[in-house]
């Protein structure tokens, strides 16, 4: 069965609506393409490769830990749990560095830094715990910690392995009453 042709007056609104729908469809496609396509800066960065800091990192850290490194980290985590703490971030453990650190948190929320010289536990950041503590910088033989203070400020302290001892060389650990 065939329908009779629509009068001319009814065809124009349908044609205009069709043109507008097509334009909206194409506009959406262009908008999606602009969001997905990389910008000139991203393309240039992709051609140049990773930034220098990323290029200097050992490749094994990018690929994950070896079996030996995982064993050393598990032993460090056991040290924390034996003292009543659980690790906050396992990524703070840098197996390529001589001085390594894990931040532990007790079930009461108390935090403490646990330092290791390669696999051997060498001490904590302080005898008392902190309420806010995080690792901000890790070097081969130094670690910088940031202590959250009750005043809302942050104080950074650098720890190094010097003459066979763990020492706070860049600043002093804030008093326990402030942290």
Expressed as residue numbers, the domain containing 83 is 66-170
- Taking 50 as the pLDDT cut, the residues of the chain under it are 59-61
Residue 126 structure tokens: 């302080």
Q: What pLDDT does residue 37 have? A: 74
Say yes or no: 14 and 96 in one domain.
no
Torsions phi, psi of 15, nearest 5? -65, -45
Q: What pLDDT does residue 27 have? A: 87
Q: What pLDDT does residue 36 have? A: 78
Say yes or no: 85 and 127 in one domain.
yes
Say yes or no: 75 and 15 in one domain.
no
Does 179 map to a domain?
Answer: no
- β-pair partners for 124: 114
Say yes or no: 100 and 157 in one domain.
yes
Apex 162 CA angle, 157 and 167, nearest 5: 35
What residues have CB less than 8 Å from 66, skipping those under 6 apart? 60, 95
Q: What pLDDT does residue 174 have? A: 94
Q: What pLDDT does residue 152 have? A: 92
Does 139 map to a domain?
Answer: yes
Q: What pLDDT does residue 60 have? A: 44
What gap in Å lies between CA 137 and CA 152, rounded to an integer?
Answer: 20
Say yes or no: 76 and 20 in one domain.
no
Say yes or no: 108 and 156 in one domain.
yes
- Please tell me whether the overall predicted TM-score, pTM, comes out greater than 0.75 for this model: no
Say yes or no: 92 and 159 in one domain.
yes
């Amino acid at each position: 069965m065939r329908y009779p042709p629509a009068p001319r007056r009814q065809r124009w609104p349908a044609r205009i609506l069709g043109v507008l729908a097509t334009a909206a469809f194409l506009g959406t496609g262009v908008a999606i393409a602009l969001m997905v396509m990389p910008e000139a800066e991203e393309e240039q960065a992709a051609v140049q490769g990773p930034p220098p800091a990323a290029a200097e990192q050992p490749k094994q850290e990018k690929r994950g830990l070896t079996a030996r490194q995982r064993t050393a980290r598990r032993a460090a985590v056991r040290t924390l749990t034996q003292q009543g703490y659980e690790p906050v971030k396992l990524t703070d453990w840098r197996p390529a560095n001589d001085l390594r650190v894990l931040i532990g948190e007790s079930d009461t929320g108390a935090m403490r830094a646990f330092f290791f010289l390669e696999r051997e536990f060498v001490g904590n950041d302080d005898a008392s715990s902190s309420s806010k503590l995080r690792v901000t910088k890790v070097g081969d033989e130094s670690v910088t910690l940031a202590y959250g203070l009750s005043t809302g400020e942050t104080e950074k302290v650098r720890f190094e392995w010097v003459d066979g001892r763990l020492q706070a060389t860049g600043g002093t650990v804030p008093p326990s009453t402030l942290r």
